[in-house]
A and B are shown apart, each in its own frame.
Chain A
Amino acid sequence: MNTEKVVFKCHKIGGGKAEGEAIVSSDDICFYVVDPKTGKVIDKNHSLQGKSIANKVLILPSGKGSSVVQADGLYQLAMNNMAPKAMIIEHPDTVLVVSAIIMDIPIVDKVDRKFYEIISDHDWIEVDADNEKITVIKRSS
Chain B
Amino acid sequence: MQLTREEEAMLNGKYGEGTAFAMKVLVAIGNAFGAEKMVDISRAHVALSNQEADLWFVERLVKGGARCKVPPTVNPAFDLEYFQKHTHLSPKDIETIQRTQKAYKEIGAILTYSCTPYLEVNIPRFGEIVAFSESSATPYINSVYGARTNREAAQSALCSAVTGKTPLYGFLLDENRKGDILVNVEADIKDDFDYQLLGYATPPLAGHGVPVFVNMHQNITPEQFMNLGAELATSGSVALYHIVGVTPEAPSLDAAFHGEKPQREITITNEVLQKVQEKISAKPGKIDFALFGCPHFTIKQVREIAEMVAGKTLKAKLWIMTSALTKELAKKMGYLEIINDVGGDIVADTCWDQPCWEFLSNKRGVTDSAKMAFYSKRRDMEFIVRSVPECIEAAIKGVVQ
List residues of A whose CB falls within 8 A of some B CB: 12-15, 64, 66-72, 74-76, 79, 92-95, 97-99, 101-102, 107, 109
- Whether B49 pairs with A97 at a CB distance below 8 angstroms is no
Of the A-B pairs whose beta carbons lie under 8 Å apart in the complex, a sample of 10, sorted by A's number, is A13-B31, A66-B47, A67-B153, A69-B51, A71-B155, A76-B52, A92-B32, A95-B153, A97-B32, A98-B155
Residues in A whose Cβ lies below 8 Å from that of B29: 94, 97-98, 101
A66's closest neighbor in chain B, by CB? B135
CB-CB under 8 A for A71 and B57, given A94-B152, A101-B25, A109-B32: yes
- Whether A72 pairs with B54 at a CB distance below 8 angstroms is yes
Contact flags B13-56 to A (C-beta < 8 A → 1, else 0): 00000000000110011011100000000000001010111101
- Whether B56 pairs with A97 at a CB distance below 8 angstroms is no
Distance (whole angstroms) from the CB of A24 to the closest CB of chain B: 21
10 nearest CB pairs, A to B? A75-B53, A13-B32, A98-B153, A72-B53, A67-B133, A68-B49, A95-B153, A71-B53, A72-B51, A98-B156
CA of A72 to CA of B100 in the docked complex: distance in angstroms? 14
Other than the given A15-B28, A71-B154, A102-B155, 10 more pairs (CB < 8 A) read A67-B47, A67-B151, A94-B33, A95-B152, A95-B153, A97-B33, A99-B155, A102-B25, A107-B32, A109-B32
Does B150 interact with chain A (Cβ within 8 Å)?
yes
Does B59 interact with chain A (Cβ within 8 Å)?
no
Residues in A whose Cβ lies below 8 Å from that of B49: 68, 72
Contact partner of B237 among A14, A64, A71, A99, CB < 8 A? A64
CB-CB under 8 A for A12 and B52, given A67-B133, A94-B153: no
Contact partner of B53 among A64, A66, A74, A109, CB < 8 A? A74
CA of A67 to CA of B57 in the docked complex: distance in angstroms? 14
Does B134 interact with chain A (Cβ within 8 Å)?
yes
Does B124 interact with chain A (Cβ within 8 Å)?
no
Residues in A whose Cβ lies below 8 Å from that of B31: 12-13
Does B170 interact with chain A (Cβ within 8 Å)?
yes
Contact flags B121-151 to A (C-beta < 8 A → 1, else 0): 0000000000001110010000000000011
